[in-house]
């Protein structure tokens, strides 16, 4: 594949890189908050299938291609191609978070009281689905803006901005929130050392956290609207611009490209080997007595690593073969996933009599999780660098969104599938006489006699084995295809425009005169 002739110089775009990181951070905070909800409702006794229902709250990131061409093609020229959508979407996101902050406690209380009542899970899912829809639309804007905001020689820095910003934002919305929301953590490590009065709530609440970030959205969006202009962006005026209908037609042409069809299959199926590890490990640990604030604390030491690592590996992803490091990391990630499952299996052996866990348990957990996240980060940055490299700037927002949503869809359908399948792979037995607890009546009879219905084989471990085997088969199947895709010329990723060169130049001249006017 042809390389970019000019050498990357990040200092040239340091302010734009900073802005991109902030925008990706901003969009990931609501995603992080949504990611904390499964851990919260898991303590209410929700089933695997109910967790699968809530997983649909994240699906807008897999469906945004439906409206991405609209965002990419329709805009107010004087205001800016990206700001036309970015500003109102971020304002609405902020307002939704502020309104939700006044009602979220009542919604969660209703879900807790009726843990087995499916309508409450559907309502909770619908709320966060709408919030995800807004930030997914913001993501379309930012992805497209990155291609024109950065100079062409620095375009591969877009993947680093995405990785750093999203990791930091998810950390704030998930790990920081879950930690400071815990009354045990704040009483033990914050209030007691500061001689503050012990309280029955954490330092922050979900409602207060939503309100705070809703206000941040409003303020930052106002500043961007007033201070950031698109007129000076590094957008090539000689690239033809497609209208809405033409963009959808171009999208169909993109799908017909053999290269896109090959990468689509890869992105849709690559996560199958890690689905159980990614979707079920945290929930399984909560079932085994680990508190959700402890899970959040495990992520804190990893944040500096996850932020610094994209910069460290950028020299491997800014070349002509960014996917080399992707395929080298794949088998290691599978192996570490198995080690993580073994660690989860022996979790109960570490538990103290007072239901707490010793320091060396968390040290081992951090070590294993750190190794796993290193390979996750490497694969993500490598994939994003390749997507930015092959994206056609003529329809940059839609093109790169297509590749991103294929990856997101590959993640979401596998996660939802393993969560749904877990209920069908669960066989419970009564602790008194080892009789089956397959029905509600059998479970109540066991509890009446003073017993507890426990899974004879945890579905988590069954699915870890199935997914690992599937991952090995996948790697053997797609290894050569991934290697081959990197050797394709850039023209293999671009569609052919039926319009003549003279027509394009004429249209470009007209567009240029409008802009300069």
* Per-residue model confidence as pLDDT tens digits over 88-129: 999 999 999 999 999 998 888 777 665 555 557 888 899 999
Block residue for tokens 């590890």: 277
| pLDDT confidence bin for 509, thresholds 50/70/90 | very low
Q: Which whole number is the average pLDDT over 230-257? A: 66
Structure tokens at 295: 């899970």
Residues of the chain with CATH 1.20.1250.20: 13-229
Look at residue 328 in the predicted model and tell me its pLDDT: 92
Q: Which whole number is the average pLDDT over 443-464? A: 77
| 407 within 8 A of 383, measured Cβ to Cβ | yes
Structure tokens at 66: 């439906």
Block residue for tokens 């950028």: 314
The CATH class that applies to domain 252-503 reads: mainly alpha
Backbone angles phi, psi at 427, to 5 degrees: -120, 115
Look at residue 514 in the predicted model and tell me its pLDDT: 35
The yes-or-no verdict on residue 252 having pLDDT over 90 is: no
Q: Any long-range contacts for 243-247 (C-beta under 8 Å, 24+ apart)? A: 243/73, 244/69, 244/70, 244/73, 244/74, 246/73, 247/69, 247/72, 247/73, 247/395, 247/398
Instruction: Supply the pTM of this predicted model.
Output: 0.76
The yes-or-no verdict on residue 384 having pLDDT over 90 is: no
Q: What is the CATH number of domain 13-229?
A: 1.20.1250.20
Task: For residue 428, list its beta bridge partners.
Answer: 455
Rounded to whole angstroms, the Cα distance separating 40 from 145 reads 35
**DSSP assignments along 291-311, one per residue:** -HHHHHHHHGGGHHHHHHHHH
Look at residue 247 in the predicted model and tell me its pLDDT: 74
Look at residue 220 in the predicted model and tell me its pLDDT: 94
Look at residue 502 in the predicted model and tell me its pLDDT: 38
Cα Rg, the chain, nearest whole Å:
24
The yes-or-no verdict on residue 229 having pLDDT over 90 is: no
Look at residue 57 in the predicted model and tell me its pLDDT: 93
The yes-or-no verdict on residue 376 having pLDDT over 60 is: yes
| 113 within 8 A of 282, measured Cβ to Cβ | no
The yes-or-no verdict on residue 5 having pLDDT over 80 is: no
| 90 within 8 A of 138, measured Cβ to Cβ | yes
Task: For residue 430, list its beta bridge partners.
Answer: 453
Structure tokens at 450: 């003073």
The yes-or-no verdict on residue 240 having pLDDT over 80 is: no
| pLDDT confidence bin for 457, thresholds 50/70/90 | confident
Look at residue 97 in the predicted model and tell me its pLDDT: 95
Q: Which whole number is the average pLDDT over 359-377? A: 91
Rounded to whole angstroms, the Cα distance separating 137 from 328 reads 33
User: How does DSSP classify residue 455?
Assistant: E
SS3 at position 9? coil
Q: Looking at per-residue confidence, does 118 or 445 come out higher?
A: 445
Look at residue 440 in the predicted model and tell me its pLDDT: 64
The yes-or-no verdict on residue 505 having pLDDT over 50 is: no
Q: Looking at per-residue confidence, does 472 or 431 come out higher?
A: 472
Look at residue 76 in the predicted model and tell me its pLDDT: 82
**Letter string b/e over residues 310-331, b meaning 16 or more CB atoms within 10 A of that residue's CB:** beebbebbbeebbbbbbbebbe
| pLDDT confidence bin for 372, thresholds 50/70/90 | very high
């Amino acid at each position: 594949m042809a390389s970019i002739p000019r050498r990357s110089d990040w200092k040239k775009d340091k302010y734009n890189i900073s802005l991109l990181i902030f925008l990706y951070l901003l969009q990931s905070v609501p995603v992080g908050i949504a990611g904390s909800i499964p851990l919260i409702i898991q303590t209410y006794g929700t089933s695997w299938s109910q967790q699968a229902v809530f997983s649909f709250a994240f699906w807008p990131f897999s469906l945004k291609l439906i409206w991405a061409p609209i965002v990419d093609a329709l805009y107010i020229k004087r205001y800016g191609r990206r700001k036309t959508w970015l500003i109102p979407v971020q304002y609405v996101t902020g307002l939704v978070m502020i309104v939700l902050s006044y009602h979220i406690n009542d919604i969660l209380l209703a879900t807790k009281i009726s843990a087995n009542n499916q309508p409450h899970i559907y309502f909770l899912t619908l709320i966060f689905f709408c919030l995800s829809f807004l930030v997914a639309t913001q993501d379309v804007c930012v992805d497209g803006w990155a291609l024109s905001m950065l100079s062409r020689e620095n375009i591969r820095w877009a993947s680093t901005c995405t990785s750093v910003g999203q990791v930091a934002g998810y950390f704030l919305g998930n790990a920081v929130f879950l930690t400071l929301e815990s009354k045990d953590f704040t009483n033990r490590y914050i209030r007691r050392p500061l001689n503050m009065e012990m309280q029955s709530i954490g330092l922050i609440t979900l409602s207060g956290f939503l309100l705070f970030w809703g206000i941040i959205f409003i303020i930052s969006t106002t500043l961007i609207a007033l201070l950031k202009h698109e007129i000076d962006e590094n957008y090539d005026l000689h690239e033809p611009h497609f209208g809405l209908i033409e963009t959808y037609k171009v999208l169909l042409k993109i799908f017909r490209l053999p290269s896109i069809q090959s990468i689509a299959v890869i992105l849709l199926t690559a996560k199958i080997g890690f689905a159980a590890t990614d979707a079920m490990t945290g929930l399984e640990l909560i079932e085994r007595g680990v508190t959700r604030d402890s899970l959040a604390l495990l992520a804190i030491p990893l944040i500096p690593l996850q932020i610094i690592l994209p910069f460290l590996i950028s020299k491997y992803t800014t070349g002509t073969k960014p996917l080399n490091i992707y395929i080298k990391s794949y088998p290691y990630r599978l192996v570490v996933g198995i080690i993580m499952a073994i660690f989860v299996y022996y979790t109960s052996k570490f538990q103290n009599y007072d239901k707490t866990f010793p320091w060396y348990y968390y040290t081992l957990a951090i070590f294993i999780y750190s190794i796993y996240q290193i390979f996750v980060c490497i694969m993500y940055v490598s994939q994003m660098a390749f997507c930015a490299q092959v994206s056609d700037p003529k329809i940059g927002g839609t093109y790169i969104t297509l590749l991103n949503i294929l990856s997101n869809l590959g993640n979401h359908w596998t996660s939802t599938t393993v969560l749904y399948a877990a209920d069908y792979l669960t066989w419970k037995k009564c602790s008194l006489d080892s009789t089956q607890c397959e029905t509600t009546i059998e479970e109540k009879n066991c509890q009446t006699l003073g017993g507890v219905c426990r899974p004879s084989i945890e579905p988590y471990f069954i699915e870890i084995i199935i997914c690992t085997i599937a991952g090995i088969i996948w790697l053997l199947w797609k290894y050569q295809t991934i290697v081959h895709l990197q050797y394709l010329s850039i023209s293999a990723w671009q569609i052919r425009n039926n319009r003549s060169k003279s027509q394009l130049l004429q249209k470009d001249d007209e567009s240029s005169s409008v802009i300069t006017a």
